[in-house]
Amino acid sequence: MASPLDRLVMPGKLINAHEKYEKFCDKCHEPFKKAKQNHLCLDCHKAVRQDINVKQGFHGLNQEVRIKECKYCHSDHLGRRADIVNFDPFTFDHNITDFKLTDSHTEVACDVCHIMGKKYREAKKLCSDCHKTSDIHQNRLGEKCGNCHNPKAWINAKFDHKKTKFQLKGKHNSIACQDCHPNQRYKATPKSCIGCHQLQNIHGDSYGSQCENCHNEKKWKAILFDHDKKTKFKLQFAHLKLTCSSCHKTKIYKKSKKVRGCFACHESDDKHNELYGKKCKACHTQKNWAKNTFSHDKDTKFKLKGVHKKVECHACHQSSLKKERSKNTCSSCHAVDDIHKGSQGESCAYCHTQLSWSKEIIFEHDITKFPLIGLHSLVGCESCHVDESYKIKKFSCAECHNHQDVHKAKLSSQCVLCHNPNGWRQWIFSHTDQTDYPLEKGHQGLDCLSCHRQDITQGQEIVVSDKCFTCHGDDDVHSGQFGKRCDKCHQVTKFNDLSVMTSAGF
């Protein structure tokens, strides 16, 4: 409580704001001390103390102000209506505060930000405090207006998108904000391509939502997916011209079955109806599906020659290759063409060739038990082989030449003893050399049947007596009176020539 003496020495009345402390001098003064009484002022003005302590605001930022006594600028006892702030808006430097005025803010009147009746230090510092009515975003972007706007011109907003988790690249740099942020929606803006480009997704939901695998910010329509590097299937030749949907007809980016082999896509092109399996690349290539590149000569043990080169695959391979166990023999395919009905075995190549099945028969008869020599080499097969079996059990001349046997089989079937393939009438039998009975003189030129009167069967030894009586018994006019030694009187030269008797003196 102020004493009567204090009232006598009080230099004047306090301002209206301090009027209540007029009877309490100790609120602002310490007895007998005039200097360093700031702590008493700051006990009431705690906000100013805070500014000084943290060095903010007008009192905290200015070193000169911070170290001065409060009374140096704010003297009191000047009367109820006295202005102890001494603020001159025309000379006050706003840059010594924590809100520097720049650009358009320098042209704004003080009372626009500093509302009458409130302290200057209570002026709000956030953009949204003053520009709330100008906020077209309706506070959906928060209070950090300075991220886009600046004091030069509120409308010319420039936001640095690098400060976000979505940097603008390529075409994204030239599009308007509202293209991605419709209705000033900035929070929860989708960062995935599909979030904005759903309407441009011509694939529907087939290829998933990972648009960046094929598209980029430079040009949406330019497909940049590298099929060679990012997949195990390199695109070559005709595959390079196909559209993605030609092969990928399902949701390829989801857990689907992997494409295995050509057959997965070309099942409808398989004119073999899966008879040849699913290893299409054994015959077809990416360069030309219709062109068959399978080399039967290199890839199998059966080389194609002659007419076989022009034969369609299914002509020989009529069942599934997995089940087929081909013997690679002619008969395995040509059994239906075998006019011999299997009688000649499976070694068709002895007679037939791949040049022509029915023409140019090249059978070598010399490899059989009956080589063809002489006139036999000119005879047609059907002359001896009366049916298509070509089987002959006997190989004697008589089998074929029975109708030409003038001997009526009386000289056996050993025609080769006299005849040969060079000519049937060209005899080669020598009675002198091949028997023990040389034909001489009158015996020469006789017909064989003159002596050989009995039939001789195949394999039987030809035995004819060398006695004259054997053949000339019917000519014996002596009726056997002189015995059977005809040669005692008669000669081979002429039977009626009795030269022996003449020489004996008869």
List, for residues 140-199, the tens digit of each pLDDT value. 777 788 888 888 877 777 788 888 888 888 888 888 888 888 887 777 888 888 888 888
Least confident of 4-8, 353-357, 376-380, 412-416: 4-8
Across the range 375-380, mean pLDDT stands at 86
Q: Which domain holds residue 342?
A: 296-384
Residue 424, token pair as written in the block: 């049937």
Instruction: Report pLDDT for 400.
Output: 81
The pLDDT value recorded for residue 458 is: 56
The whole-angstrom separation of Cα 402 and Cα 409 is: 8
**Whole-number pLDDT of residue 33:** 76
pLDDT, mean of residues 430-447 = 83
**pLDDT class for 409, splitting at 50, 70, 90?**
confident
Would you say residue 263 lies in a domain?
A: no
Residue 197 lies in a domain: no
Predicted confidence band at 365 (pLDDT cuts at 50, 70, 90)? confident
Compute the average pLDDT of residues 405-425.
79
As a residue count, the chain comes to: 506
Mean pLDDT, residues 27-40 taken together:
80
Kindly list the distances between the CA atom of residue 468 and the CA atoms of 451, 462, 487, in Å, as whole numbers in the listed order.
10, 17, 7
Q: Which residue has the higher pLDDT, 48 or 462?
A: 48
**How far apart are the C-alpha atoms of 251 and 207, rounded to whole Å?**
5
pLDDT band, very low/low/confident/very high, at 324 (cuts 50, 70, 90):
low
pLDDT higher than threshold 50 for residue 505: no
The whole-number average pLDDT for the span 271-283 is: 80
Domain contains 348: yes
Cα distances from 37 to residues 42, 224, 252, 492, in angstroms, run 9, 77, 82, 192
Q: Which among 245, 312, 218, 243 has a CA at the least distance from the CA of 272?
A: 312
* % residues pLDDT > 90 (the chain): 1
User: Does 377 reside within a domain?
Assistant: yes
Report, as an integer, the average pLDDT of 67-83.
Answer: 87
Residue 504 has pLDDT above 50, yes or no: no
Distance CA 274, CA 317 (A): 12
Higher pLDDT, residue 456 or 178: 178
Q: Is residue 327 part of a domain?
A: yes
Element (H or E) spanning 504, and its range?
A: helix 499-504
2 has pLDDT over 80: no
In 223-244, which positions are buried (b, 16+ CB within 10 angstroms) versus exposed (e)? eeeebeeeeeeeeeeeeeeeee
238/139: higher pLDDT: 238
3-state secondary structure of 423: strand
Contacts of 95-102 spanning 24+ positions with Cβ under 8 A: 96/58, 96/61, 96/62, 97/57, 97/58, 97/61, 98/56, 98/57, 98/61, 98/125, 99/123, 99/125, 102/151
Helix (H, G, I), strand (E, B) or coil at 420: strand
Residue 165, in any domain of the structure = no
The rounded percent of the chain whose pLDDT value lies above 70 is 91
Domain count along the chain: 1
Q: In whole numbers, what is the pLDDT of the chain averaged over residues?
A: 80
- Residue 137 belongs to a domain: no
* 263 contacts 270 by C-beta, under 8 angstroms: yes
Give residue 460's pLDDT: 64
Q: What is the pTM of this model?
A: 0.39
CA 323 to chain centre: 26
Nearest residue to 448 via CA among 412, 479, 501, 476: 412
Residue 141 domain flag: no
pLDDT at site 361: 77
Confidence class for position 257, pLDDT limits 50, 70, 90: very low
Instruction: Specify the pLDDT at position 506.
Output: 44
